[in-house]
Amino acid sequence: MILLALFITAAARHHKSQTSSQKHGHSRVTPSPTLPFPYKSFRLPAYIRPNHYLIDLRPNYDQLTTAGNVSINVTSSKKSNFIILHKKHVNILDVKVSELNSKKDIKVIKTDEYHKYNFYYIKLEHYLQPNKGYLIHVRFTSQIKTKVLHGLYRSHYRAASGMTRYLYSTHLEATHAREIFPCFDEPAMKAIFTLTITSPPGYTAISNSEIHKKKVLQNNYTLNEFHPTPPMSTYLVALVVSDFKNLEGRTINNVRVRTWANPLMYKYTNYSLHVTMKVIPFYGKTFGVAYPLPKMDLVAIPEFAAGAMENWGLILYRETSMIYNKWVNTLRTKQWVTVVVAHELAHQWFGNLVTMKWWSDIWLNEGFAAFMEHVGTNHVAPEFQMMKQFLLRNFRRAQYADSLPTIHPLVSTATNSDQIESLFDSISYKKGSCLIRMVRDYLGIPNFNQGIRHYLSTYKYKNADHNNLWQALQWASHGKVNISSMMSTWALQPGYPVVTLGSHNNNGTATISQQRFLSVRKSKSGDYGSITASSLWHIPISFQTKNNRTGKFMLLKRADIFPWKNTDGWIKLNSNQIGYFTVNYNIQNWNSLTDQLKKDFLVFNDIDRYQLLGDTYMLARPGLLTIKVFLNMTTYLFKEKNYLPLYAGLYSLSVIKQAMSYNKIIHQKFEAYIYRLIRPQIQRLGWKHQASYLQSKLQHLILVYGVHYNDSTIKSYSLSAYHQWVYNNTRLPTKFRSLILSVAMKYGGQPAEKVMMDKYLHTSSSSMKRLYFAIMATSKDPTFLNKLLVMTLDPSKVRIEETVTYMSSVARNSVGSKLCWEFYKKHFQIIHKRYNSESFSLSHLMNSLTSRFNTEAQYKEVKDFYRVHNNVGVAKSTIPIILSKIRARIDWKILNEADVIQWANKHLT
């Protein structure tokens, strides 16, 4: 506390001084001559650590600039005559370094910059001494951005009067804090932050911590000084200056919760408020560490690049991720809001309280949050059955990405900002969450929770890596298992295994083996045998047999002996699809499992039925199993009534139908087959209220398929409801609104296009805008689709945050796919200039653009385009991934075409 008082006193003295001179140790910054930069690493020196920042920001909201001062209390653990900070697009006016205790200045004799790593080098006349405190004071200016959604940037909304109102907010993950103030911008450089910022009349400023004091200045601006934060990383610093309104509540632990939005929308944050007040104490109890701050603010930002950002004590969201109006929005929106709120709140522990040492372990943040969002949502809204939905939302999507030969491991190297941003992908989020789920089941929930509590209590306010997590879980297992050895096989190498169980041996056993699963088998140099041969996992396997024998087995070698007796009958591995792997069997066992489904499918629960359909389809992609096994298995679906297996079967059949579109006869056979499968479901479910949420999702799924296959009853009902809505101003049923509007677009021609466009342009709701655009994007009119694409780059009609989502919706359209690709190529420079530092946006768009490409000509076109246009910034790693996906579709056709045709001609009349 004495050291802190000295720091604040010294820093205050520097903040008051706006002049500098060399004799007092200040360096008036001038350009340095072009010489080799004197520091070689891409990481900051680890021996100089920040302890406390005092940051004073005085924005000029009209000129979009900020005048600032930052004083950083640092300690050096060894002698050094230089200091390195991060800065980007920040103009440093002067810099001063002094001893904290004596206040004696240390002369700055040179400054230099290295733009590649955003380094600012400060050369000192004398050495910093070990374990002594020093103060770095920097006076600077920075920019308030308007064309990108990071750093400190301006966004806007339209008020009830029709006037444009502005607000100012931050987004600093992963490396954007350096765009606002000079700092040690690495996650391990944790420090306390005391922030001060001025706000205009009628505006409120909020930050990570509570307001300490306010002062009205002569220009009627308010000077807002916030309490010090806990020790945290720079990327978690947050500020919002707005005229928003809020709702307020308190948790059972007396944490003040406020939910903010623009004055037209703030009352619809009441559900987010409810979720937050339930989840914070639940997580505190589950993790054994109470939420450490006295308050939590959630703000719905009109223009926000990510879905949300977990800044400690001040979480920022897209409007569509936080606002729920039960009279307008569907249960799907309610689920989404619950999930996103639960995800960001999980970060308050995993990421904020304990932070990864370096971005290579970003999965420790995102994988945990992507898993806990299901647990948290399940606590607040068990009707959503999130632990079942995990398989659709995370498991299969993770495996799809992880089956590519070009994918990175969970723990990956990152040596610059672009590489760091590229790690925010489905591997870090979805694969990470799958591995958390697997090890949780392996240890048992009580032991797992005990290990997590140990991890959080040991490393709170500090940093950790994956080894620290394994050690904590090892401790909780009481030495019974080697978690570190097991989990390193999953975290340190890319991909995942396919486990193959061979035929019975004569002694009541069978050979079980593993190899890396790859959805792409062909390459110019042959196959990927060398990759699969070098991979080995420690795989926990559960199983059940026809005769109700259950058990567990650990596969530690490439091949081993598995206990499987002839009297067991069929066997099924990986119960409830807990293990992150795919399973293959000998053809006799596959046939027995298929026969069981046809005879009595309820022997398997819905998760296991979903797994059987998913595994057979996945195995056929690279030719590890004939596609006929999957197709034979789908015939049991006429009796199925559950969401998960019907989703798996219908989705994969639709992909096969699309892949065979060049063969008109086979394509039509599959269209007829899929319609035969869904027709009884349409009759069973209809438009009736469903008792469970998953049955409601199934109903929507079936009706959507019915629209695609021109079901006459759906067409008749929908057009009638649509005409009543347009001409009589009746209300569309919220649950079926998107379905009804899609029918109208399909059959309504230009009049329907005009109605949807008018609705889009005049609604103030972000979620409704997204709905209307998605409906318009289903049009089969090329002229209209091109009009939509032009709109996506017009900020007056489409918010910057929504451009990628809207373009992607056009790209998914069979007519729009080629149009969107050509539009993207034509406007490549504009798009990539706007999104070159947002990995989520760019990667999502690049994947969507080519999601329907499946020919050699298309593969060559994409490859040639990116060979020339490879300046895609953070999304550079996406290029080999999308090429691998196109190659996988091409290979699928080569490997499966003959079997699909043969099966269709035999079974589909």
pLDDT score recorded for residue 24: 45
Each residue's pLDDT tens digit, 870-882: 887 777 888 999 9
Each residue's pLDDT tens digit, 519-535: 987 554 445 555 666 89
- Measured CA to CA, the distance from residue 320 to residue 309 in angstroms comes to 14
Q: Residue 363 sits in a domain of what CATH number?
A: 1.10.390.10
Amino acid found at 661? S
Q: Does 231 fall in a domain?
A: yes
Mean residue pLDDT of the chain comes to 93
* Whether residue 62 is found in the same domain as residue 185: yes
* Whether residue 237 is found in the same domain as residue 363: no
Please state the rounded mean pLDDT for residues 761-782: 94
pLDDT at 3 over 50: no
- Find where tokens 């950790």 sit: 464
* Whether residue 359 is found in the same domain as residue 237: no
Please state the rounded mean pLDDT for residues 573-598: 97
Please tell me the chain's helix, strand, coil percentages from 3-state DSSP, rounded to the nearest 5.
50, 20, 30
pTM value is 0.93
pLDDT score recorded for residue 873: 75
Each residue's pLDDT tens digit, 475-531: 999 877 899 999 999 999 999 999 999 998 888 899 999 999 999 875 544 455 556
Percent of the chain with pLDDT over 70: 94
The boundaries of the domain holding residue 222 are 41-243
* Whether residue 363 is found in the same domain as residue 485: yes
Q: Is residue 344 among the annotated active site residues?
A: yes
pLDDT score recorded for residue 505: 87
pLDDT at 212 over 80: yes
Please state the rounded mean pLDDT for residues 739-748: 96
* Whether residue 53 is found in the same domain as residue 183: yes
Confidence of residue 835 (pLDDT cuts 50, 70, 90): confident
Closest among 289, 364, 540, 507 to 439, alpha carbons compared: 540
Q: How many CB atoms lie within 10 A of CB 568?
A: 17
Confidence of residue 396 (pLDDT cuts 50, 70, 90): very high
* Whether residue 203 is found in the same domain as residue 56: yes
* Whether residue 182 is found in the same domain as residue 55: yes
Q: Does 145 fall in a domain?
A: yes
| Residue where a domain stops, chosen among 194, 213, 243 | 243
Please state the rounded mean pLDDT for residues 80-103: 96
Element holding 112 (H helix, E strand)? strand 108-114
Confidence of residue 353 (pLDDT cuts 50, 70, 90): very high
Each residue's pLDDT tens digit, 809-834: 999 999 999 999 999 999 998 888 88
Q: Does 91 fall in a domain?
A: yes
Q: Residue 97 sits in a domain of what CATH number?
A: 2.60.40.1730
* Whether residue 238 is found in the same domain as residue 365: no
| Residue where a domain stops, chosen among 221, 243, 265 | 243
pLDDT score recorded for residue 17: 46
Q: How many CB atoms lie within 10 A of CB 758?
A: 11
Q: Does 437 fall in a domain?
A: yes
pLDDT at 840 over 70: no
pLDDT at 224 over 50: yes
pLDDT at 802 over 50: yes
The answer on whether 366 is annotated among ligand-binding residues is yes
pLDDT at 20 over 60: no
Pairing of strands 91-99, 105-106: antiparallel
pLDDT at 16 over 70: no
| Residue where a domain stops, chosen among 448, 465, 494 | 494
pLDDT at 768 over 90: yes
Q: Does 624 fall in a domain?
A: no
In the chain, the number of structural domains is 2
Q: Does 835 fall in a domain?
A: no
* Whether residue 78 is found in the same domain as residue 225: yes
Please state the rounded mean pLDDT for residues 421-435: 94
- Measured CA to CA, the distance from residue 606 to residue 611 in angstroms comes to 9
- Measured CA to CA, the distance from residue 690 to residue 682 in angstroms comes to 13
pLDDT at 706 over 60: yes
The active-site residue out of 344, 373, 640, 838 is: 344
Q: Does 457 fall in a domain?
A: yes
Q: Does 489 fall in a domain?
A: yes
- Measured CA to CA, the distance from residue 713 to residue 24 in angstroms comes to 84
